[in-house]
Amino acid sequence: MSNEARAFIGAGANLGEPVRQIRQAEEELRRSRGIKFLGASSLYRTQPVGPVEQPPFINAVFALEPEIGPHDLLSLLLEIEQNMGRVRGERWGPRVIDLDMLFFGEETIEEQGLEIPHPRLHERRFVLAPLAEIAPGFVHPVLQKSVSELLAGLSPGDFWVEKFQAESP
């Protein structure tokens, strides 16, 4: 899958019905113009990052072949979040849905509001585990390491990530 994919989107939720919300975000991307949806990782149940006490997250990664540019893709992700009820509040706080552009091909962008590759993805097991499932050989354009190498390089630490078997809808 990674040979075709140009963009990878991290999805996470821990409020409401996280599994349903991840699936809804996936469906919104599948229906979006200018997006060829290539696939999704399994769902992962993950420990929240940051100082805020909150429930575990459900995370996944989506692979896309966008016909639109990174700025338009970011606008689409923000629109989906807003339509699903995302209210931006406390940093690293709980959320109904979070959609982050992880990579857009080999592009590197560092602007106000848009950084590609995502600036902290190489430190986050909750992003790298599902990403390694669908694109283990994808090479980080700045760090020049594959996703599997980045995942293997993380210290075990205190943060847990586990595959999550959701009940069928």
Catalytic: 86?
yes
From 45, 95, 124, 125, the catalytic residue:
95
From 98, 120, 125, 158, the catalytic residue:
98
From 6, 23, 86, 124, the catalytic residue:
86
If phi > 0 it is left, if psi is from -120 to 50 it is alpha, else beta; for residue 36 that is beta
Computed over its alpha carbons, how large is the radius of gyration of the chain? 15
Catalytic: 23?
no
Catalytic: 98?
yes
117: preceding bond cis by omega (within 30 degrees): yes
From 23, 45, 100, 124, the catalytic residue:
100
Return the beta strands (E) in the chain as ranges: 7-13, 35-40, 44-46, 57-66, 98-104, 109-111, 114-116, 161-163
Q: Where are the alpha helices (DSSP H) in 32-108?
A: 70-83
The residues annotated as belonging to the active site are 86, 95, 98, 100
